[in-house]
Amino acid sequence: MRIQTPLDERFTGVPPEELESRISAAKALLGPRLLILGHHYQRDEVMRWADHRGDSFGLSRLAAANTDAEYVVFCGVHFMAESADILTPDHVQVVLPDLNAGCSMADMADLDAVEDAWGALGAVTDVERLVPITYMNSAADLKAFVGRHGGAVCTSSNARAVLTWALERGDKVLFFPDQHLGRNTAYQLGYGPDEMRVWDPRRDLGGLEERDVKEARFLLWRGHCSVHQRFKTTHVEEFRAEHPDGIVVVHPECAHEVVQIADQVGSTDFIIRAVGEAPAGSTIAIGTEIHLVQRLAAEHPDRTVVSLDPLVCPCSTMFRIDAAHLAWVLESLVSGEVVNRITVDPDTAEWARVALQRMLDIT
């Protein structure tokens, strides 16, 4: 359990301009000893201070490549900071400004549940021919689990290559924690619904019959992104009724029926490129987190960029980090105190690196 201690009055209720001044001063004092990373879904008040922007794994690789910084302040969520700690040298300290910044999808699969599933599957099928694949949006101990069991990590941009690799080495895949990315990728590879089953970790044998387990090529963990699952086919239909020439671009964490009728589907970086490459004057509906959508709209004033769901809510966990928490961790570092350090134990880190390296070797 991660519990963030409430900030005191030196950071709460402070005017935004004062926080900006304090962040700027602290960053200047720390100089090259500090590297601030900002995930695409963060608030603008945080992203303005980021030395690099990107997706979760891209930022972790940038952290690993740095040669000067002693402190990496990761403005993202817990699993991202863990990946950065796994990939950086021991002397680099990774800090997450708000410990409550997590990922509801990542929390839908934990090590105990995955180990229980593996044991149950081993009773009815040959797990030597079962390849576990975890999405990047998962805890470090799950990355280590797949490393130990011959599997790999994937991202939304390389899931197709990783699943192809897995099926060259085994008969079936256990994919977690996001069922939608697994399903959409399986369809991309030419597999049909009869070759997929959803594994419900709350039910005996995942809620499946033994025959289902044996026949399935893909066992998809019953997990989802709380933001991306909100996008519906009706949103696409309503947008196209209003904008017949509009472009619909969605993330592969969306449900398959939405992905099927979208014009373009891809990772966060893909979405950013798609907007940048769209003709001037285009109207583009984006099926992903609202902060990125709003930022793309501001960066491309010659295009109309809107959320596919006009009522979509921000990701409640991505939304946690704000200027007050960033000011707090930076001023703490200036005073010599490292708060909210994220560390992964050596054994877990070693096996997680194995799974991450397999992904890099594949792609």
Identify the pLDDT of residue 314.
63
Question: What DSSP state is assigned to residue 336?
Answer: T
Give me the chain's average pLDDT, please.
Answer: 95
CATH number for 34: 3.40.50.10800
Is 37 within a domain?
Answer: yes
Residue 221 and residue 116 in one domain: yes
Distances (CA, A) of 243 to 161, 257, 282: 35, 20, 10
Residue 218 and residue 233 in one domain: no
Question: What DSSP state is assigned to residue 305?
Answer: E
Quick: pLDDT tens for 161-217. 999 999 999 999 999 999 999 999 999 999 999 999 999 999 999 999 999 999 999
Amino acid in the structure at residue 7 = L
Of 241, 251, 229, the closest CA to residue 283 belongs to 241
Identify the pLDDT of residue 315.
65
Rounded to an integer, the average pLDDT of 70-74 is 97
Residue 338 region by backbone torsions, left for phi larger than 0, else alpha for psi between -120 and 50, else beta: beta
Residue 112 and residue 211 in one domain: yes
Residue 301 and residue 280 in one domain: yes
Identify the pLDDT of residue 56.
84
Of 240, 239, 248, 238, the closest CA to residue 275 belongs to 248
Rounded to an integer, the average pLDDT of 327-339 is 98
What is the value of pTM for the model shown? 0.93
Identify the pLDDT of residue 2.
66
Identify the pLDDT of residue 313.
61
Q: What are phi and psi of 130, to 5 degrees?
A: -110, 125
Identify the pLDDT of residue 317.
67
Identify the pLDDT of residue 57.
84
Is it the case that residue 58 has pLDDT exceeding 90? Answer: no
Give the chain's domain count. 3
Residue 191 and residue 233 in one domain: no
Quick: pLDDT tens for 237-294. 999 999 999 999 999 999 999 999 999 999 999 999 999 999 999 999 999 999 899 9
Residue 141 and residue 179 in one domain: yes
Is 349 within a domain?
Answer: no
Residue 170 and residue 244 in one domain: no
Is 57 within a domain?
Answer: yes
Of 200, 98, 182, 81, the closest CA to residue 140 belongs to 81
Is 293 within a domain?
Answer: yes
Q: How far apart are CA 240 and CA 244, in angstroms?
A: 5
Residue 205 and residue 153 in one domain: yes
Residue 21 and residue 84 in one domain: yes
Query: What residues have CB less than 8 Å from 24, skipping those under 6 apart?
Result: none
Identify the pLDDT of residue 60.
85
Is it the case that residue 311 has pLDDT exceeding 90? Answer: no
Is 6 within a domain?
Answer: no
Boundaries of domain holding 176: 106-225
- The terminus-to-terminus CA distance of the chain in angstroms comes to 34
Q: Look-up: residue for tokens 């817990």?
A: 78
